[in-house]
């Protein structure tokens, strides 16, 4: 992004990008229209016009107009939902399988899927709302806070509900657990090839493997917790840094 | 009825006519429109229109290097766009003469 663009224009462009992404538009189209508008704004500001002059009275209305003329990429939206949904499920299967035999109650299974879907939908619509509404910083942080709380509240709620209401429990047994793990891993590898991103596998490996491997090494439980979480977060940090570098190189 | 509402059906034809003259990029187009007196709407309005006209295959865009730095998107008419422009011109001249004969001032 050019430095000589006013802050108001920059934040308009960022909000537009966010709005279009959460509306599920094609990545290439989003990039292209944002770049074109950036070019326009730079030239307009150099001649003393403001972003209001370009966008009109209602940025929200303008974003909607643009969005209406763009193709919605349902398959990429579907991809994101699948990745999050099955990522959450696989995480649960792999972490539990590392400790013991798998067993889930009916409520847990349905609840996890339902909670994940509610989370995806609500986070998507909150982002879209925030991009267009032009909120104050305080309200924005309040919304981020609520969004951060939502998964915790929903999952903790599910755990309590699971204790209160008895539903049939499915136990996988030793071989069942092994099969579930193999199916999950196979599924994840397939998903990674299909979506052409290895992020789910790498994140899962970083979350699950340290815990699992450390059970073989004779260390004190407290050391184990520290070791495993520092490997996990250190690994994630390194991974994010590397991908950031790679995308930067690609765009140059 | 506001000017913006009246413009709705007409502005597309005017944009086609301007692009017909020469290949043009977004800012240039907005400026041209303003010069011709279409100053009642905000400049950004052209972009949703350009997106739609591309979808309808009336215009195509090509990226070209600009002197100022980033690549710029230039628009030009397709064959279909040329035809649409000719139709617009004949529709407009008919409409214009009808409106003029209804109105007392000439």
Probe site for chain B from A43, A47, A51 (most B CB atoms < 10 A) = A43
Q: Which of B41, B43, B47 sits opposite A36 (nearest CB)?
A: B47
CB contact under 8 A, A40 and B27: yes
Which pLDDT belongs to residue A168?
Answer: 86
CB contact under 8 A, B47 and A33: yes
Q: Which of B26, B48, B69 sits opposite A40 (nearest CB)?
A: B26
CB contact under 8 A, B43 and A54: yes
| 3 state DSSP class of B60 | strand
| 3 state DSSP class of A171 | strand
d(CA B44, CA B28): 12
- Alpha helices by DSSP H, listed for chain B, are 3-21, 26-35, 46-55, 79-102
Q: Which of B44, B51, B52 sits opposite A54 (nearest CB)?
A: B44
Probe site for chain A from B27, B63, B70 (most A CB atoms < 10 A) = B27
Confidence of residue A2 (pLDDT cuts 50, 70, 90): very low
* B41 in contact with A, Cβ within 8 Å: yes
Q: Let me know: does B87 contact B9? Beta carbons within 8 Å.
A: no
Q: What is the pLDDT along chain B (106 residues), one digit of tens a residue?
A: 677 778 877 899 999 999 999 999 999 999 999 899 887 778 888 999 999 999 999 999 998 876 666 678 999 999 999 999 999 999 999 999 999 898 876 5
3-state DSSP helix/strand/coil percent for chain A, to nearest 5? 80, 5, 15
Q: Give the percent of chain A with pLDDT over 90.
A: 9
d(CA A65, CA A172): 52
Q: What residues in B contact A66, CB-CB < 8 Å?
A: 47-48, 51
CB contact under 8 A, A37 and B47: yes
d(CA A52, CA A55): 5
d(CA A67, CA B61): 19
Average pLDDT for residues A37-59, to the nearest whole number? 88
Which pLDDT belongs to residue A1?
Answer: 45
Give the pLDDT confidence of B53-78 residue by residue, as tens digits: 999 999 999 988 766 666 789 999 99
* pTM, full prediction: 0.67
Give the pLDDT confidence of A124-171 residue by residue, as tens digits: 888 888 887 777 888 888 888 888 888 888 888 988 998 888 888 888
Tokens of A236: 């994630």
CB contact under 8 A, A69 and B55: yes
Q: Let me know: does A180 contact A103? Beta carbons within 8 Å.
A: no
Probe site for chain A from B42, B44, B65 (most A CB atoms < 10 A) = B44
A80 pLDDT more than 80: no
Which pLDDT belongs to residue A149?
Answer: 86
CB contact under 8 A, B45 and A43: no
Residue B21 Cα to chain centre, angstroms: 11
Q: What residues in A contact B70, CB-CB < 8 Å?
A: 35, 38-39
Q: Which helix (H) or strand (E) holds B103?
A: none
Residue of higher predicted confidence among A2 and A127 = A127
Rounded to two decimals, the ipTM of the complex is 0.86
Q: What residues in A contact B46, CB-CB < 8 Å?
A: none
Question: According to the per-residue pLDDT averaged within each range, which of A185-194, A199-208, B74-83 is highest?
Answer: B74-83
């Amino acid at each position: 992004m050019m430095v000589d663009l006013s802050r108001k224009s920059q934040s308009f462009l960022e909000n537009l990008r966010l709005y279009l992404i959460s509306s599920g538009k094609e990545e290439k189209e989003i990039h292209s229209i944002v770049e074109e508008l950036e070019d326009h704004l730079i030239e307009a500001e150099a001649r003393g016009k403001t972003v209001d002059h370009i966008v009109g009275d209602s940025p929200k209305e303008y974003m909607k107009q643009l969005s209406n003329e763009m193709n919605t990429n349902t398959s990429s939206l579907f991809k994101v939902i699948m990745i999050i949904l099955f990522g959450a499920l696989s995480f649960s299967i792999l972490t539990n399988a590392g400790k013991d035999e798998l067993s889930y109650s009916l409520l847990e299974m349905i609840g996890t899927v339902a909670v994940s879907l509610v989370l995806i939908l609500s986070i998507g619509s909150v982002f879209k709302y925030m991009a267009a509404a032009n909120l104050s910083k305080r309200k924005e942080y309040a919304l981020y806070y609520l969004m951060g709380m939502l998964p915790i509240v929903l999952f903790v709620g599910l755990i309590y509900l699971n204790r209160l209401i008895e539903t049939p429990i499915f136990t996988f047994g030793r071989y069942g657990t092994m099969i579930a793990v193999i199916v999950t891993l196979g599924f994840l590898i397939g998903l990674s090839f299909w979506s052409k991103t290895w992020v789910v596998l790498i994140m899962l490996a970083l979350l699950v493997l340290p815990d699992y491997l450390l059970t073989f090494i004779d260390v004190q439980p407290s050391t184990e917790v520290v070791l495993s979480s520092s490997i996990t977060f250190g690994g994630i940090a390194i991974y994010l840094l590397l991908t950031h570098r790679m995308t930067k190189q690609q765009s140059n | 009825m506001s000017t913006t509402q009246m413009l709705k059906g007409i502005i597309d034809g005017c944009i086609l006519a301007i692009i017909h003259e020469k290949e043009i990029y977004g800012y240039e187009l907005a400026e041209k429109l303003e010069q011709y007196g279409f100053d009642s709407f905000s400049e950004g309005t052209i972009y949703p229109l350009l997106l739609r006209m591309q979808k309808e295959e009336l215009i195509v865009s090509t990226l070209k290097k600009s002197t100022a730095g980033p690549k710029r998107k230039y628009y030009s008419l397709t064959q279909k766009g040329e035809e649409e422009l000719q139709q617009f011109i004949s529709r407009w001249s008919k409409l214009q003469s009808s409106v003029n004969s209804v109105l007392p001032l000439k």
